[in-house]
Structure 1
Amino acid sequence: MNLTTPLTAPLRVIIVEDMISIRQDLEEFFQQQPDFIIVGACSTVSDAIALIHNTKPDLLLLDIGLPDGTGFDILEQITEKVKVIFLTAHSQYAIQAFRYGAIDYLLKPFNELELMEALQRVINAQPLLREQIAITLHSFRKKKVQDHIALRSQDFVKIVKLKEITYFEADNKYTTVFLNAGNKVVTSKPLKEYDELLSETFFLRTHQSYLLNEFYIDRYHPKGGIIYLKDGTQIPVSERKKEIVDQYLKKL
């Protein structure tokens, strides 16, 4: 199984995983991939930091839970710019943190197709920004809603405050995020993912294609099924969402 976009030069990879069987499976997988070279594999935070300093990898596959810390501890202590895919068992807080930081992850156990899809995404991404790491760490450690989010497009990552977002609009597998300054970002994630991530915040799903920020609501016309934002933007309210919207707005 090869990448749909072959690389001009192989990516140098370090695997940090404390389960021997998973680490061996990953090493065997990458040995069959001409676009990647394993430059090291280990099972602890301390060994990983030393390996990263010595080998300067392009990509890290990081387990969350390690004997002497977490994969996040590694990212905090290195200065090298790298791409990252986290490896984790199901964890509500970890997954939420990854989504806030727009960081790729795989849930264990995973299969080769899932791994290849993650690799395909990550080769087109830029190395992690320090802001992405900070957002992810804050969300994971505090186990609470974050006030910033990383928006990843095909070409860049933009860090914004949640309160700066006026609304999200679905565009097939992509989502356009509209900001209060009049700018917008087309992200490579579906609206469903933002809806799930922001379900406990001040965002309201009014339609299968729209998720809006309550702070920018000006007025609601129930008969017409339209919410007007303060800048005049009209957001539709679908029939199946009307009762939810009515109850939500009564609480404001």
Structure 2
Amino acid sequence: MIKVGIIDDEPLARKRVKKLVKQRFDIEISFECGNVESAISNIDELKPDIIFLDIQMKSKNGFDVLDKINFIPIIIFITAYDKYAVRAFEYTAFDYLMKPFKEERFFSVLNRAISLVHTRNMEADQRQIRELLQLMSHQSDHKAGLYKTSIPIKLADKTYFIPCESIEYIKASGYYAEIIESGKKHILRQSLTELIKILDPSKFIRIHRSSIINTSFLKEIVSVGFGDVEIKMDDNTTHRVSKTYKEELFKLMGMN
């Protein structure tokens, strides 16, 4: 029987995970709790095979659990919006669930964790956790390791480096990207899909399939009716926000 622990400070979130886990007859829920202290004692005492670990808890975060436990279970992280954390999980090969997650995603992650229970390498797991804690210990170090601080632009026989912090917005133009920086336009043969992956998500956000903006230069968000939204940048240019990206923009700007 596979033993599972559930750690989340939201009772409803724990209830949902528990309900889904109970659909598997080969799993036993060893414990559930809502704080770091209980999580540490339960993990070390009960030694679960797998834990679901929420990152954003009220007093401390899930990484405080990893820093203190002596027994290392298979870890499935749960996060609501922390893109830094998600990139770190991917970088260190940990599995994660992004709230609100769908059942098919839940069982896909759970099935993979179960398959690892009998083949796991404790030493490798410990290395992974040390690497993850190192990535997350200082947000600035984390950004430096995972996101670009400058974009190289090749022009004739020279390569210029544009500081990412000075980029105002980026527009798609065919197979190229137009980077607007300090009123200047730079052309780069790279897609917006590729660029958004290397830019700091605490500042850069895609608002349309053809637009990325740096929120440091965001001046206004304007409702134009029927649920549609436009934004105005510091240079007074306006850009349409597609419905696909509106909620993410509002969340980043603290508007919901």
Name the TM-score class by shorter chain.
Answer: 0.5 to 0.7
C-alpha change, 1:245 and 1:78, in structure 2 (3 Å) is same
The answer to whether 1:138 aligns with 2:127 is no
For residue 113 of structure 2, give the secondary structure of its aligned residue in structure 1: helix
For residues 168-219 of structure 1, give each alpha carbon's deviation from its aligned partner in whole angstroms, at most 9, with x where no partner exists.
xxxxxxxxxxxxxxxxxxxxxxxxxxxxxx5528999xxxxxxxxxxxxxxx
Decide whether the 8 Å contact of 1:97 with 1:137 is kept in 2: no
Choose the corresponding residue for 1:78, options 69, 72, 78.
69
How far off is 1:99 after superposition?
A: 1.8
Specify the alignment match of 1:60 in structure 2: 51
Aligned residue in 1 for 2:105 = 114
Distance 1:145 1:96, change over 3 A: farther
1:61-91 CA deviation, whole Å, 9 max, x = no partner?
0000223311111111111121000010111
One of 17, 26, 36 as aligned partner of 1:26? 17
What amino acid sits opposite 2:114 in the alignment? I
Residues 3 and 27, structure 2, Cα contact 8 Å, conserved in 1: yes
Deviation at 1:92, TM superposition (A): 1.9
The whole-number CA distance in structure 2 between the counterparts of 1:202 and 1:121 is: 37
- Cα RMSD over matched residues? 3.1
Question: CA offsets, 1:208-236, max 9 Å, x none?
Answer: xxxxxxxxxxxxxxxxxxxxxxxxxxxxx
1:200 aligns with 2:148: yes
Unaligned runs of 5+ in 2: 153-174, 177-186, 191-256
User: 1:12 is matched with which residue?
Assistant: 3
Alpha-carbon distance in structure 2 between the residues aligned to 1:97 and 1:44:
22
Instruction: Give the number of aligned pairs.
Output: 156
Unaligned runs of 5+ in 1: 1-9, 148-161, 163-197, 205-239, 247-252
Code of the residue aligned with 2:104 in structure 1: it is L
CA contact (8 A) 2:56 2:80 kept: no
1:245 and 1:143 mapped to 2: Cα distance?
30
Aligned match of 2:37: 46
Distance in 2 (alpha carbons) for counterparts of 1:26 and 1:202 = 41
Distance 1:16 1:41, change over 3 A: same
Q: 1:241-252 alignment to 2 at 5 Å? A: 244=188
| Separation in 2, partners of 1:31, 1:245 | 50
Q: For residues 135 and 202 of structure 1, what CA distance do their matches in structure 2 show?
A: 25
2:148 is aligned with what amino acid? E
CA distance 1:65–1:146, change in 2 (3 Å): closer
The 1-side partners of 2:16 and 2:104 are apart by: 14
One-letter code aligned to 1:72: F
Q: What is the Cα deviation at residue 110 of structure 1?
A: 1.0
Counterpart in the other structure of 1:221: none
Could you tell me which residue of structure 1 aligns to residue 96 of structure 2? 105
- SS class of match (1:66): coil
TM-score normalised by structure 2 residue count: 0.53
